[in-house]
């Protein structure tokens, strides 16, 4: 018995010793897991990036849409096969788009450092064009135009873009101590950009760099909602409407909406912009001024041909928003007006056309169809050498646009909107263009290259649940051109399948309907 007791006690002591040794090998306390923390400094949706003092917010949207009676979901039938109104014209165009937004902010001794990115993947139905290698009387063919997005680049061209789609970089910027550096909406633009009450992208009557423009901008806050900004922004992608040498005009080009050869030289200076803004509870007022450099290339192919002198154009714009008007809670009225001299894209913005070639019917005996063609560059000149060349003559424009937004209830809202713009040439432009129209197109009638654009539309939106909206947007556009009589197309316009024939000069209309479903997140 004594032996058994000794064995039991010895075994117990051994177990206790082993247990103690194992316990000594384990950590005293497990390291705490660092969970994501909410960042309330900059509004809802921000959280701290683990291990840093930087707050981040992720967002974006997915959009599915179809444009009816258009060859582009965001514009009208203003040129090409869309405005040809024949069997090459798309009755509808479809697009799917996914947008991603990344917003980061860090508090520093100099204030908040912010970065913002917005980019998206797009797939858009392509269009068709007549086979330009075919002549009248030979078998016809069509060419498919690969799907593109606002960036214009096809991700996977090996399959013609049919499954590649495109990527668009809309905003990529740094904000620090009042400075904005990178790609974003121009300081010149009104806060609603191209959308006073609409989804339609092609309104004239004001600046609108929706997908962002490279810039270096300083904004000063004066208090009580008053601020001012000075900006230098890249001119290449968005604000060059063209510097045309009218001596290079061709019959096909003029009928297609090109009055000459675009001969813009390399960059010389950015656009310079100054704005003053008052943003308070009643609404907003903004005044904008832009200076735009126009520099042409050489008169002919060689440097020795000489060149016209550069000049500066300008644009001035005023914008007004009135909030919570008596028609209902949350209703708004947005209006703006603009005048340009050698800076056309600050009126006819880059998503609106500055070249038109629109076909329609006719009742004129002997005419095949009717046509309206027009062009709105920044400036024009003529000549093939310094000996016979002219300097630049700026094109002047004016315009306005506006929209009224009304909320019927928490689920339904509607908007009414409209726009108008006028384009005016100087004496050199009118004289030369009319001489070209007479010589190249055998004009019988009156000649005046000036024109107006009128637009009106209505949109209704339904939001059955938060952040999910269905909308229908109807837009009418009228090209009011100043030519009258008839012109002769001397050769087949193969890309739009229009024959050599007589055409009546007549104003033309575009009617478009945009259907959209969008889920924000």
Per residue in 448-506, pLDDT tens? Answer: 999 999 999 999 999 999 999 999 999 999 999 999 999 999 999 998 999 999 999 99
> Which pLDDT score is estimated for 167?
86
Q: How confident is the model at residue 75 (pLDDT cuts 50, 70, 90)?
A: confident
Please give the C-alpha separations between residue 45 and each of 33, 55, 58, 206, 521, in angstroms, as whole numbers.
22, 10, 8, 33, 10
Choose among 229, 226, 206, 227: nearest CA to 218: 229
Cα 182 to chain centroid, rounded: 17
Residue 139 DSSP SS3: coil
> Which pLDDT score is estimated for 149?
42
Q: How confident is the model at residue 419 (pLDDT cuts 50, 70, 90)?
A: very high
Tens-place pLDDT, residues 321-349: 999 899 989 999 999 999 999 999 999 99
More confident residue, 138 or 408: 408
Calculate mean pLDDT across residues 96-112.
95
Choose among 435, 426, 443: nearest CA to 488: 443
Q: Is residue 303 pLDDT above 70, yes or no?
A: yes
DSSP label at residue 440: H
Q: Is residue 33 pLDDT above 70, yes or no?
A: no
Q: Is residue 242 pLDDT above 70, yes or no?
A: yes
Mean pLDDT of the chain: 89
> Which pLDDT score is estimated for 124?
83
Q: Is residue 194 pLDDT above 80, yes or no?
A: yes
Choose among 305, 289, 171, 309: nearest CA to 230: 289
Asked if residue 426 lies in contact with residue 342, where contact means CB atoms within 8 angstroms, the answer is no
Dihedral sign for Cα atoms in the order 161, 164, 165, 168: negative
Calculate mean pLDDT across residues 118-142.
71
Calculate mean pLDDT across residues 154-182.
77
Q: Is residue 57 pLDDT above 90, yes or no?
A: yes
Q: Is residue 10 pLDDT above 70, yes or no?
A: no
> Which pLDDT score is estimated for 70?
84
More confident residue, 144 or 510: 510
User: Which residues in 196-353 belong to E strands, given as ranges?
Assistant: 213-223, 226-233, 243-245, 261-262, 271-280, 283-294, 311-323, 332-341
> Which pLDDT score is estimated for 474?
98
Q: Is residue 31 pLDDT above 80, yes or no?
A: no
pTM over 0.85: yes
Report percent pLDDT > 90 for the chain. Answer: 80
Report percent pLDDT > 70 for the chain. Answer: 86
Q: Is residue 129 pLDDT above 70, yes or no?
A: no
> Which pLDDT score is estimated for 24?
46
Q: Is residue 81 pLDDT above 70, yes or no?
A: yes
Cα 185 to chain centroid, rounded: 10
CA 506 – CA 482 distance, rounded (Å): 9
The DSSP-derived string for 451-520 is: EEEEEEEEEEEEEEETTEEEEEEEEEEEEEE--EEEEEE-S-BGGGTBPSEEEEE--EEEEEEEEEEEEE
Q: Is residue 186 pLDDT above 90, yes or no?
A: yes
Please state the domain extents for the chain: 182-520
Q: Is residue 232 pLDDT above 90, yes or no?
A: yes
Calculate mean pLDDT across residues 249-260.
97
Asked if residue 320 lies in contact with residue 309, where contact means CB atoms within 8 angstroms, the answer is no
Choose among 282, 273, 283, 280: nearest CA to 319: 283
What's 182-520's CATH class? mainly beta
Q: Is residue 516 pLDDT above 90, yes or no?
A: yes
Q: Is residue 196 pLDDT above 90, yes or no?
A: yes
> Which pLDDT score is estimated for 266?
94
CA 139 – CA 137 distance, rounded (Å): 7
Q: How confident is the model at residue 237 (pLDDT cuts 50, 70, 90)?
A: confident
> Which pLDDT score is estimated for 257?
96
> Which pLDDT score is estimated for 157?
45
């Amino acid at each position: 018995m004594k032996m058994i007791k000794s064995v039991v006690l010895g075994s117990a002591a051994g177990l206790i010793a082993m247990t103690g040794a194992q316990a000594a090998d384990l950590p005293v306390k497990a390291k705490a897991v660092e969970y994501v923390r909410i960042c309330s400094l900059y509004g809802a949706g921000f959280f701290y990036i683990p291990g840093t003092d930087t707050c981040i917010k992720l967002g974006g949207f997915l959009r599915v849409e179809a444009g009816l009676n258009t060859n582009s979901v965001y514009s009208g039938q203003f040129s090409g096969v869309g405005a040809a109104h024949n069997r090459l014209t798309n009755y509808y165009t479809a697009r799917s788009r996914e947008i991603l937004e990344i917003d980061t902010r860090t508090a520093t001794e100099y204030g908040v450092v912010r970065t913002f990115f917005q980019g998206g993947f797009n797939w858009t139905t392509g269009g068709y064009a007549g086979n330009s290698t075919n002549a009248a009387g030979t078998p016809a063919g069509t060419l498919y135009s690969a799907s593109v997005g606002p960036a214009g680049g096809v991700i996977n061209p090996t399959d013609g873009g049919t499954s590649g789609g495109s990527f668009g970089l809309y905003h990529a910027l740094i904000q620090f101590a009042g400075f904005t550096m990178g790609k974003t909406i121009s300081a010149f633009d009104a806060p609603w950009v191209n959308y006073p009450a609409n989804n339609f992208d092609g309104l004239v009557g004001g600046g609108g760099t929706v997908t962002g423009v490279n810039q270096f901008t300083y904004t000063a806050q004066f208090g009580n909602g008053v601020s001012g900004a000075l900006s230098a922004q890249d001119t290449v992608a968005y604000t060059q409407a063209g510097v045309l040498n009218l001596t290079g005009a061709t019959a096909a080009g003029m009928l297609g909406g090109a009055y000459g050869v675009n001969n813009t030289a390399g960059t010389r200076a950015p656009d310079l912009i100054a704005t003053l803004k008052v943003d308070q509870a009643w609404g907003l007022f903004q005044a904008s001024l832009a200076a735009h450099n126009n520099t042409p290339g050489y008169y002919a192919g060689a440097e020795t041909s000489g060149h016209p002198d550069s000049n500066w154009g300008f644009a001035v714009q005023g914008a007004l928003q009135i909030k919570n008007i008596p028609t209902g809670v949350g209703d708004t009225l947005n209006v703006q007006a603009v005048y340009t001299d050698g800076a056309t894209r600050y009126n006819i913005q880059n998503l609106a056309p500055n070249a038109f070639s629109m076909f329609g019917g006719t009742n004129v005996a002997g005419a095949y169809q009717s046509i309206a063609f027009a062009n709105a560059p920044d400036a024009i000149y003529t000549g093939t050498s310094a000996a016979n060349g002219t300097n630049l003559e700026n094109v002047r424009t004016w315009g306005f646009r506006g929209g009224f937004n009304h909320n019927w209830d928490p689920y339904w809202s509607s908007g009414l909107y409209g726009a108008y713009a006028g384009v005016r040439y100087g004496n050199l432009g009118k004289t030369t263009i009319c001489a070209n129209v007479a010589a190249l197109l055998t004009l019988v009638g009156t000649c005046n290259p000036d024109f107006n654009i009128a637009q009106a539309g209505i949109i209704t939106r339904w939001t059955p649940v938060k952040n999910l909206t269905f909308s229908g947007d109807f837009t009418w556009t009228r090209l009011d051109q100043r030519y009258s009589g008839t012109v002769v197309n001397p050769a087949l316009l193969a890309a739009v399948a229009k024959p050599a024939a007589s055409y009546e000069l007549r104003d033309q209309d575009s009617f478009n309907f945009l259907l959209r479903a969008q889920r924000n997140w």
